[in-house]
Amino acid sequence: MKIISASWVVSCDENDRIIKDGAVVFDEKIIELNTLLEIEKKYPNIEIKKLEKNSILMPGLINSHVHLEFSGNSTTLKYGNFYAWLNSVIRYREDLINKANTKLITAKLEKMKKTGTTTIGAISSYSFDIEACINAPINTVFFCEVIGSKADMIDTLFADFKSRLNNAKKFASKNFIPAIAIHSPYSVHPFLVRETLNLARSENLAVSSHFLESREEFDWLHKDEGSFLEFFKNFLNQEKAVSKPMEFLNLFSNIKNLSFTHCVEASNNDLEKIRDLGASINHCVTSNRLLNNTKLDLDRLGEIPFTIGTDGLSSNNSLSMFDELRNALMVHYDKNVVEFSKKLIKAATVNGSRALGLNKGKLEKDFDADMITFTLPDKIEEKEDLFMQIILHTKFVDNVIIGGEYV
């Protein structure tokens, strides 16, 4: 059993409990939290790690959507328009993937840890990132991706996907959890979607898919036109989209831990369906800004919970969740900065945990003891400003605790 105390303990629980001069008792799970005074009385014989003044203790951040295999990109890919980006990915993919070896990905994961991330949803296209994920202290929900729209390729693609998934399953542990990613409605044949989802149901695996990220995708899926038509004609000899958005969504019934990434161009009907499926939306604000000059209209989500994902370095200049939270705060300038900051921190903790099917994201009895600590530059005068000040001022953390261990 261990105890740690901080100037502010931020629980991220249902009541948004914040404890001034608080302490947390934990082993691999959270045992209890209270004021330092009460905890000292109750556990007089246990040494307490007391953090300096202006310290914050909160749940570790959950980056629900990242492509580590694209970590080789910094200045190569084209931004500003999805079609231009897509063509640049096709052109440079080989080079970028080769650059992102285990050593490079390990270094990126280490940096993610130092910037407060304790759990990731890693979208893996080839399993080239598996070794780095397995060996990192960070928890990984490892989404093996299926992709391919050509009917005559389904068997080959499904076999390749299954072999990657089976290999991932060999390494399953409490901090490496195999899962399934469907790339998108435009790039995966519905038969392939159906087969992979059957597997997800029978093995109770989390599922995630990109969905309506760009205007180009919208025009192609709804009307079989626009620049995707040129792309599909040239590369795949295909003139029609393989499924309409609603047909695609209908395939996802009875998936327990389900999330859709982006959804920027989703219709109100699509969003209703996403809500009825009990799914979450992974919000990648920087990626949407860079690739599409758009932002998700959060007011349209209603009850659908959203999470925070950086996406990969293929569509972001940083994998730091605090950078991403700052971007979200700035891009959604129509929202009240104080209230929205709280919403963002919950998106990056509890909501991320829900989307990935985990027991994390809040400091509450029996939840996994994944915590971060850091220090604000000065004291907090207004308690209600705490979430906003955390987002504005935090770049690196001082301590990272995962499963009750300092890592």
Q: How far is CA 120 from CA 67, 179, 312, 348, in A?
A: 10, 12, 12, 11
What gap in Å lies between CA 359 and CA 175, rounded to an integer? 12
Q: 358, 16 in Cβ contact below 8 A?
A: no
Q: CB under 5 to 8 A by kind: which of ligand MCF, Fe ion, none does 89 bind? A: ligand MCF
Residue nearest to Fe ion (CB): 311
Smaller CB separation from ligand MCF, 147 or 392: 147
Note whether 311 binds Fe ion by CB under 5 A: yes
- Ranges assigned E (strand) in 224-323: 258-262, 280-283, 306-308
Please pick, from the candidates 39, 58, 123, 206, the single residue that binds ligand MCF as defined by CB under 6 A: 123
Residue of 188, 136, 123, 178 whose CA lies nearest to 157? 188
Please pick, from the candidates 86, 329, 356, 401, the single residue that binds ligand MCF as defined by CB under 6 A: 86
Taking CB under 6 A as the binding criterion, the range among 35-43, 194-202, 229-237, 307-315 that sits at the site for ligand MCF is 307-315
Given the residues 195, 213, 216, 217, the one annotated as active site: 213
Residues whose CB falls within 8 Å of the CB of residue 105, separated by 6 or more in sequence, listed in order: 68, 69, 71, 129, 132, 133
Residue of 358, 359, 363, 371 whose CA lies nearest to 407? 371
Q: Is 371 helix (H, G, I), strand (E, B) or coil?
A: strand
Q: Measured from the CB of residue 287, what is the shortest distance to ligand MCF in angstroms?
A: 6
Residue nearest to ligand MCF (CB): 125
Check if 52 is active-site.
no
Q: Measured from the CB of residue 195, what is the shortest distance to ligand MCF in angstroms?
A: 18
What gap in Å lies between CA 377 and CA 382, rounded to an integer? 15
Q: CB under 5 to 8 A by kind: which of Fe ion, ligand MCF, none does 145 bind? A: ligand MCF
Q: Which two tokens stand for residue 68?
A: 């580590």
The secondary element (H helix, E strand) that includes residue 401 is strand 399-402
Note whether 217 binds Fe ion by CB under 5 A: no
Q: Measured from the CB of residue 185, what is the shortest distance to ligand MCF in angstroms?
A: 12
Residues that bind ligand MCF (CB under 6 A): 67, 70, 86, 89, 123, 125, 145, 147, 183, 210, 213, 287, 311-312, 314-315
Residues that bind Fe ion (CB under 5 A): 311
Name the residues annotated as catalytic: 213
